[in-house]
Structure 1
Amino acid sequence: MGRLRLAQSRRREFRNARAQQAVLAAAYRNADIDPVDVQYIELHGTGTAVGDPIEASALGAVPGTGRAAGAPLLVGSAKTNVGHLEGAAGIVGLVKTALAVKHRKLPPSLNFEQPNPRIRFDDWNLRVVTAAQPWPEPDRPLLAGVSSFGMGGTNCHVVVSGAAESTAPESTPDTAIPERTVPALWTISGKTQAAARAQAAALLAYADTHPDVRHTDIAVSLARSRTHFDHRLTVVGRDRDELVGRLRAFADSGYAPGVAEGTTAESATATSAFLFAGQGSQRVGMGQELYTRHPAFAAALDDVLAALASCDTELSALRDLMFTGPAEKLNRTRFAQPALFALEVSLFRLVESWGITPDFVAGHSIGEIAAAHVSGVFLARRRVRARGGTGPSDAVPSRRRCDGRGRSR
C-alpha cells in the first residue's frame, strides 16, 4: 500500500496531481509490481468538476502509461452503485474490488452517459466499465488498485492481487488431523468467583452427559455466545479428554494445570471519543440557542468567526447566516464548511469548559479538520489565530489565504 500525507499543501487532497502520482508510484513500487500490469482501478471518484480530472490525469501518468494500443486501463467507482458512504467509502471500494477479483468479473459503474470533457480518456488510456464484463486478461495475474482520499489531505492507494492457485493436495480422512487432538480453550465467567465456579461445574456436567459434542464446538460457543463477566476461568487442553480432566481436577481441589482463574483489571477506566461531523450536517439556526445561553460557547464562536473574517471579508456575516439563513446560501460549500468548523470548535470549547475532554477525536470531511485543530495537530496561530482555524483553502470563499496572524495574502 502506498500512502503519502500532503504536508506541504493547504489545498484539498484532489487538487495536487503530483502528490497523487507519487502515491501511485510508491504503492506499486512497494508491491514490486509494474503499474502497466494493473488491469483495473477502483476510483475515489469525488464527483466534482476539478477532482475527477486530476485523479484521472494521475492515473494516466502512472498505470495508464506504456499500455498497448487498444488495451486501456479499466476504471470504475462503487459510489455510482451504493452512493457516497462518507467514512466507509474507501473500505467499500476495497470490498468491491476484492469481490471482483474473487469472481473474476467487473461490475458496471452506473449512469455514465456523458464524459467530463476535461478528462482525456483516450490520451490517458482510461475506460470506464459501463457494463458487467469478465476480468480482462484472465490468463495473467489479476491486479487492481483502490484509491481513497481523505479530507485532511491524505491519499491512499492499495494494490490488490488474486490469490495464487494452491498446489497442495487436498487432505484425505487418512491424513487429516483427528478432531480430538485439536487444542482448544474453554472460557468461563461469572459476576462473582462463586458464580464462575458454578458455571465450571455446570460445564463439566454437560461434557460428561454429552460425550459426542466436539470440544472445539464447546469452545466456540463459550467464546462467542456467552456474556463475559469480570470473574474469569479458562481451561486449555490438547483434546477433549484433557480439557475435561483438568476441569474435573479443578472442581475437586480448586487448582489444576492448564486452568487459570482471576478477574479483569479493576483499574481499567472507560475512555471517551468525540466525533466531528462533515458537510451536510449544517442547518439554519445551528448554535443560536447555545450562543444565547452559554458564554463559553459564545466566546469561542466569536473568536473563531473573527479569525475567519480576518482572512476573508465575505465571512464577516457568517454568524447571521448560521442563525437566520437563508438555507440556500448556507448550503454552499464556501459557507457551509467554515460555518461547521466554527460550530464544532465552539461545541468542543463548551464541553471543555465543563471539564469534559475526550481521549480520542475523529472527524469526517470538514470535521476531520476540526478534530485535528482541537487536538493540537493544527496549531491555532499557525492556522488563523488563537482558537481560530480554517479548513482547506476552498472552505473559505476567497482564494486569499491567512498567514496565521490575521492577515490575508
Structure 2
Amino acid sequence: MPASTGTIELSIVMPCLNEAETLATCIDKANGYLARSGVAGEVIVADNGSTDGSQDIARAHGARVVDVEAKGYGNALMGGIEAARGDYVIMGDADDSYDFSRLDAFVERLRAGDQLVMGNRFKGGIAEGAMPPLHKYLGNPVLSWIGRVLFRSPIGDFHCGLRGFDRRSILDLHLQTTGMEFASEVVVKSTLGGLRVSEVPTTLDKDGRSRPPHLRSWRDGWRHLRFLLIFSPRWLFLIPGAVAFFLGLIGTLAITFGPVVFGRVGFELSSQIYLAALTVVGYQSVLFAILTKIYAQHEGFRIPRSRNFDRLERRISLESGALVGLALFLVGLVIAIWQFSAWAASGFGAFDHEGAARTAVLAALFMMLGSQTIMAGMFLGVLKVGLRKE
C-alpha cells in the first residue's frame, strides 16, 4: 500500500465505470481547483473496468488511472484511496453532478483537523431533476435519520458522494463493504471510531450522462439499511429481544397460576404457549446481540465500549454459561419431576388437564432457556479460542 509522500497534500479520487461523457469535465474542474487554490494535489481515476475509453480520456486530461479489477463502488474507491499519495482525499462521482472546482470548504475543514468532512446536499442545494423524488423525500432522509439515531452521528446526509477525509485515518478503519453501502460504512465507522466528523454544504446538479445511473434504488437502499441495522445489534437484537423476553416471561409465569383477565379480555393456556414462544425468541435475540458484540470486539471492529458490557464480558465464559444454563434446565426439570410425582401419588388417575398443561409449559420453557444458555456458552468458548492470525 503506497504511503503518503508528504509532497502531495490532496488526492481527488473519482470512481469510474464507463463515464466517457462526463469524465473529462470532472477532471478539468478538479485540476482547475488545484491550480487556482495552490493546493499540491493529484487527480486519480479509479477505473472499475470501463469499456468506453474512459481510461484514455483520463490520462489525456492529466489524471492518474488506477485499474481496480474487483467490481463494485466500494472496491473502486478503496483502490483509489490506497493508491493515493496525498495526506487528504476528496472523493466524488465522475458524472458531473458534483462541482470539483469548489472544494475550498472541504480542504479548510481537513486542515483544521477534521478527519471526515461530508458534503450535505440538502443544505447546499439540489438542482431540479438532480435527485429522484423517492431518494430526495424518502430514501436519503430516512436512512440518514436512522444512521443518526443508531450511531449518534452528526451527519445529515449519509449518502452524499462528495466527501473528504484524512487518508491514514480512513485506512485505519479497515473498511470492508464492496458496493454502494460503502458510503454508509465510512460514516458509521468514522463515528464509532471516534474520528472528528463534520459536514459542509455542497450542491448537487443533474448529472451529464445520457445513460441511466448505476444506482438501483430499492436494492441499494436495502443494502444501506441492512448495513446500518446489522452494525447496531443493540437496536436490532438487544432492545427488541429484551422487551420480548420480559413480556413473555412475566406473562407465562402469571398464567401458570390460572387464567389472567383484564377487563373483558382473558388469557389462558393458548396465550401462555404463545408467550412462552415469545420468551424463547426474545432470549435468543439477547444472546445473539451479546455474542455479536463480543465477536466484533474480538475481531478488532471499532465499536463503542461500555463499562457495563466490559464487566459482563469478563464474567461470562463457557463455564459460567454452562453453569447458568444447567441451573435453568434443572429448574424446569424439577418442576416436571414434581408434576409427575403428584400425578403418581394420585395413582395416575384423572387430573386437571389445563392446569397440568400450564405447569408443563413453564417446565419446558425453563429447560429450553437452559439449553439455549449452555449452547451460547459453548459458542462463546469457540469465539474466545486464541488463534494466530497471519
Q: Which bin holds the TM-score, normalised by the shorter protein?
A: under 0.3
Structure with more of its chain in helix, by fraction: 2
TM-score with structure 2 setting the length: 0.25
